[in-house]
Structure 1
Amino acid sequence: MLDAITDGKLTPAQAKAWLTSVVRSELDRIERQRMISRMDPVGSCEEDQRLDWATARAWSHLASKGLHAELSDHDRRTVLNEGSNEADIASLETMLGVLSRDVLSEAGVNKMLRAARDSIQTATGETLNPATETILSLRQLLLAGKAAAWSASEGQEDPSLEQARALAREILDSAPAEISDTREPLHISEEATLIGAPAPIRISAQRPEFSFDPDIVALVERINAERDRDHIKEDTRKQLASQARLFIKATGITDVREITQGHLKFYKSVLQRLPTSYGKSPKDAERTIDELLARAEDLPEKKVGLSPRTINGHLDRFKLIFQFAKSESITISDSIELGLLRVREEKRNRDKREAFTLPELQQVFRHPIWTGCRSTSRRHERGNIVKADGLYWGPILAGYSGARREEVLGLEPRDVVSVDGIPCYHIRDNMHRGVKTFSSERLVPIHEHLMELGFLRHVEEMRQRGASALFPELIATNESQSFGDKIYYNWAKALVLQLDGNPRELCFHSFRHYAIAHLKELPEVSEKQRRDLVGHSGGDVHDEQYDVATSMTVMSGVVAKLPRLF
């Protein structure tokens, strides 16, 4: 299938999985959009129809002729000959501009890559590591799928009318009438080809239902499918999915309508009895609740029970799940009071994570990982081999920036840029991970010591290799993993070895507290400069709306004030 894009780029199975995902997602989006237009109209019916026509025509144009936002004279004449007018053409040209800019934008590319990676992983179990040619193939399929979905959806009757007619017949006849699902399954044949190729995509329209599936996993999948909900970050999406599976495993409840206060109370008690290391191993997803709780029985007390912050995070995500369910008219029990289940925090925010001291950091970086180990598989034994991978670079990057673990370990080669002649790395959403908040997106100047150690040479090597990540060995191989998971064991062991057992329980996040605490002691570094470096939001509305980012020249001076680690 799709021979034009499978030559060393996408396999036929990957292409089919991505195209199917695009078509299904677009059909679902069209359904929601049209229901909103009918039930909560803004503007005239004619305007809605013109917008639908312009959207369908624009996707078809982009799929067949490429990402060119302008219409040729021939295109204009064709549209006019079909009965459209100049107002229609103006709407079409506007839509072409909007859609092509979105597809070509950096945010659009990242969104496409994340969606493609998820759909291919789910359908085939394969990990997508796209090169430039693969991105172009994914984009070609994206345009084809969008065009096919809009073409298939034209002229569809509201499926809720058929449901209502069946119910009316049941009432009039005083006899039960089966309300059947009138949808036809989406079918993409093995011989399907791209728009513009010899054989067209053959697709039968999926007729949507008016009601929504109350299954908890299906509900969470719909939340995660709404990728335009910018306030739901990638980490939250993963947490929602894993939380849904754990809740079902613990309670046996699969229907969100059946959840009671008692179920949530029991679920909270399970979280308080799990090993604190729960989720670190991919095998945890396969273990039963009894197996998970049995593992905690022989652990010391401080190694049992998730933290109050983590438990409260689970409750906050249930609040999101219930709100989303209510938005779909799914009934949630009125007796649920999540606030009654919250766990009291035991420490102030500033006390929850210890900060490294400079002497402690200097001791950590005397470990063989940075001074020379015996071999790449024996990183804790002294030798003369220094392997410059994510385990080596990640802690150094964090020590010279206060950045979060995933922010530095999940960087891509293209995230390393030069601004005003100053080498920086751009912490932003990319195909591998998002950023925590809007204020987390920022430019961080690269410390001079990093350049001396050869960090920019490492970046260039990854570019030459066509790597999609600066540290490709850390790319997650399943949904439960994050970038930091693959260095967790060796990093934690290094801390234990270098810090006499690590009694203060320092961790990767302790770099962040160290950098902030160190800069706070320097009167020449302003609060705003510290915020801009570590990605904190402003203190008030004035800071958030009217302030400007600190220049790279000034920020480079701030980074230079962080002492050398070794």
Structure 2
Amino acid sequence: MARETKNLTRLPSGIFQVEFNLPADINALTGMRTWRKSTKTRDPKEAARIRDEIMVGWRQEIERLRNPSVEERLEKLIRVPSDWPGTQQEFIRDLVAAPGDDDGPPSLAALLRNYVGIVRGMHGAAQVMHELAGVPFKGSAWKEFFAQAEQLIVLADAGDSLVSKLMVVPAAQKAEHDPNKSVPITVALTTWKKNEHPTKATASAYEVMVRRFVEANGDLSVSEISRQHVRLFRDKVEEQVRSAGTVKNMLSKLSALLNWAWKEGYRDDIKPVKGVQPTKNANAPKKKRPFNADDINRVHGYLAKAYKPEDDRYWLFTAALLSGLRAEELCTLRTCDVREEFGVWCFDINRENGKFVKNDASVRLVPVHKQLIDLGFLKHHARTSSTGRLFPTLQPDNDGRYSGYWLNQINHVFHKSLGFGSDKSFHSTRHAFQDQLRNAEVELTVRDRLFGHTEGFGLDEGRRKRAATSYGDGHYIAVLNEGLQKVAYPGVDWSVLSERTGQQEL
């Protein structure tokens, strides 16, 4: 079945279309990346038959383009004189006619002699100009040209068929020395970003992947990347992350980039990544578990000792715990993103100013929890208002993420200082928040909206999105606020933070 549908694409109308990605040398000659032609049928078997006929014609055309006749090459170089009574094709045909035919235009040999004479004049003028300007004149390239031109004239005089072979040499050399085949992977990445316009987050992820590939193999041209290079890349990633999920993700991105490079003519195949898997030593990613009340009390005790309320890092954990915001959503907030909406203080999660948002469902308003306000969070908001950013001391990492350095720091604290296992990290705040929404029996679509998930995605029937959720503008902010304020975290001692913030003056 796969063979029957190769090079066939079914259009929305149901009609099949034949598609063929052109090799790099044909791409350069035609200026086209892909040939397409409709089969004008919806029948797969009939489309496959028509496809085979079309592909035969295309292969013949590729062969003709790669090995043009003397006439075809001359047609691109020489235009028929305005006073010539015949067609362009007739003029070219007479031009290369056998010696002794005086009815046609001047012979090819005569034209070549005339052209070489013009070039010799240019050569002499160039030499004089160099001498006048005091610049050394290098005539080696000119000498090589004149030697080859004289050879062509001799062959043209004799009507030798080798003229045809000599005239297709430039095309053959272009195919053999295609500059696409020497493009480094870093340059290919830049071209991919320019042509494909990925989101900032996707581009950043691919930049990380390429940086790790270069660390393992150097800045190789995409045409020479082999399976061995892919294995070295995989081993390098495993040294750094030790997570099978991350390794697979990196391999998938490398495969996608090489697949794109193949379509653009930078490589002759797309197979080097296929079959390369994480080694058995790579740890499988573990599902994160939520923080319990004891965990939260321990974290709050650490924060109260390590930071003052004026420090951005004092608020991040508790703000995430009481809002369910993702780390990057929280860390990139601007002070204007914390505002009142119909009398309810909210976090406005948006894409403004280049902020990263995971998907469309993640663009949302999340009410600020009363407990966070009681702890003095709005005082922190007022304190940072002049900076424009809610957490102004956070700086972007190499990938442009404002949460990067903080996550490394707090997760180190969790695992080394507080003794949490690898199944708990800053992301566990979202798991804990979701559990509290469930325990408070908050309605599912409200939970999804607060959490930044597509509404109804957690339902049965194949976890499909309910049709009703695609209508309207969503929940009133009062409804979202009612659901969020039910998050309680029984057993958590908030006084550890309340005592600290209560001593502060704005």
Report the TM-score, using the length of structure 2 for normalisation. Answer: 0.56
SS at match of 2:346: strand
- Listed as ranges, the matches of 1:81-230 within 5 Å are 173=167, 176=170, 214-225=183-194, 229=197
Corresponding residue for 1:451?
373
Residue of structure 2 aligned with 1:316, choices 224, 230, 252: 252
Corresponding residue for 2:404?
485
Gaps of 5+ in 2: 1-30, 38-162, 458-463, 495-506
Corresponding residue for 1:554?
479
1:471 corresponds to 2:437: no
Residue of structure 2 aligned with 1:521, choices 439, 445, 463: 439
Whether the aligned pair in 1 keeps the contact of 2:217 and 2:229 (CA below 8 Å) is yes
Tell me, in whole angstroms, the C-alpha distance in 2 between the residues paired with 1:214 and 1:473. Answer: 40
Gaps of 5+ in 1: 1-34, 42-168, 181-208, 277-305, 374-378, 380-384
Q: Between the two proteins, what is the percent identity of the paired residues? A: 22
Residue of structure 2 aligned with 1:532, choices 437, 443, 449: 449
Aligned length: 325
1:484-508 deviations in Å (ceiling 9; x for gaps)? 2333465245435774x22455210
Corresponding residue for 1:460?
382
1:354 corresponds to 2:289: yes
Q: Residue 348 and residue 251 in structure 1: after superposition, are their counterparts in 2 closer, same or farther (change >3 A)? A: closer
- Listed as ranges, the matches of 1:283-302 within 5 Å are none
Residue of structure 2 aligned with 1:508, choices 420, 426, 442: 426
Residue of structure 1 aligned with 2:217, choices 251, 257, 281: 251
Tell me, in whole angstroms, the C-alpha distance in 2 between the residues paired with 1:174 and 1:330. Answer: 23
Q: Which amino acid aligns with 1:240?
A: Y
1:542 corresponds to 2:470: no
SS at match of 2:315: helix
Tell me, in whole angstroms, the C-alpha distance in 2 between the residues paired with 1:37 and 1:258. Answer: 21
Instruction: Give, in angstroms, the shift of residue 552 of structure 1.
Output: 1.2
1:178-222 deviations in Å (ceiling 9; x for gaps)? 999xxxxxxxxxxxxxxxxxxxxxxxxxxxx99697321112123
Q: Which amino acid aligns with 2:201?
A: D
* Rg comparison, structure with higher value: 2
Whether the aligned pair in 2 keeps the contact of 1:233 and 1:436 (CA below 8 Å) is no
**Range 326-335 or range 243-252, more displaced:** 326-335
Whether the aligned pair in 1 keeps the contact of 2:323 and 2:433 (CA below 8 Å) is yes
Tell me, in whole angstroms, the C-alpha distance in 1 between the residues paired with 2:33 and 2:318. Answer: 52
- Listed as ranges, the matches of 1:264-283 within 5 Å are 264-272=230-238, 274-276=239-241
Tell me, in whole angstroms, the C-alpha distance in 1 between the residues paired with 2:235 and 2:296. Answer: 38
Tell me, in whole angstroms, the C-alpha distance in 2 between the residues paired with 1:470 and 1:516. Answer: 24
Whether the aligned pair in 2 keeps the contact of 1:259 and 1:333 (CA below 8 Å) is no
Q: Which amino acid aligns with 2:391?
A: F
SS at match of 1:456: helix
1:217-245 deviations in Å (ceiling 9; x for gaps)? 1121233335x74xx44333222112212
Tell me, in whole angstroms, the C-alpha distance in 2 between the residues paired with 1:399 and 1:264. Answer: 40
Q: Residue 176 and residue 332 in structure 1: after superposition, are their counterparts in 2 closer, same or farther (change >3 A)? A: closer
Q: Residue 211 and residue 519 in structure 1: after superposition, are their counterparts in 2 closer, same or farther (change >3 A)? A: same
Whether the aligned pair in 2 keeps the contact of 1:410 and 1:432 (CA below 8 Å) is no
SS at match of 1:268: helix
Tell me, in whole angstroms, the C-alpha distance in 2 between the residues paired with 1:247 and 1:363. Answer: 40
Tell me, in whole angstroms, the C-alpha distance in 2 between the residues paired with 1:532 and 1:345. Answer: 39
Whether the aligned pair in 1 keeps the contact of 2:245 and 2:284 (CA below 8 Å) is no
Corresponding residue for 2:264?
328
Q: Which amino acid aligns with 2:290?
A: A
Tell me, in whole angstroms, the C-alpha distance in 1 between the residues paired with 2:340 and 2:256. Answer: 40
RMSD of Structure 2 on Structure 1 (CA): 3.8
Q: Which amino acid aligns with 2:313?
A: L
1:34-85 deviations in Å (ceiling 9; x for gaps)? x8999999xxxxxxxxxxxxxxxxxxxxxxxxxxxxxxxxxxxxxxxxxxxx
1:389-424 deviations in Å (ceiling 9; x for gaps)? 321121111101222111101111222233222111
Q: Which amino acid aligns with 1:451?
A: I
Whether the aligned pair in 2 keeps the contact of 1:247 and 1:267 (CA below 8 Å) is yes
Whether the aligned pair in 1 keeps the contact of 2:339 and 2:348 (CA below 8 Å) is yes
Instruction: Give, in angstroms, the shift of residue 253 of structure 1.
Output: 5.4
Tell me, in whole angstroms, the C-alpha distance in 2 between the residues paired with 1:366 and 1:225. Answer: 48
Tell me, in whole angstroms, the C-alpha distance in 1 between the residues paired with 2:182 and 2:384. Answer: 44
SS at match of 1:424: strand
**Range 338-347 or range 385-394, more displaced:** 338-347
Q: Which amino acid aligns with 1:552?
A: I
SS at match of 1:431: helix
Whether the aligned pair in 1 keeps the contact of 2:394 and 2:402 (CA below 8 Å) is yes
Q: Residue 263 and residue 40 in structure 1: after superposition, are their counterparts in 2 closer, same or farther (change >3 A)? A: same
Report the TM-score, using the length of structure 1 for normalisation. Answer: 0.50
Whether the aligned pair in 1 keeps the contact of 2:367 and 2:481 (CA below 8 Å) is yes
Tell me, in whole angstroms, the C-alpha distance in 2 between the residues paired with 1:551 and 1:470. Answer: 25
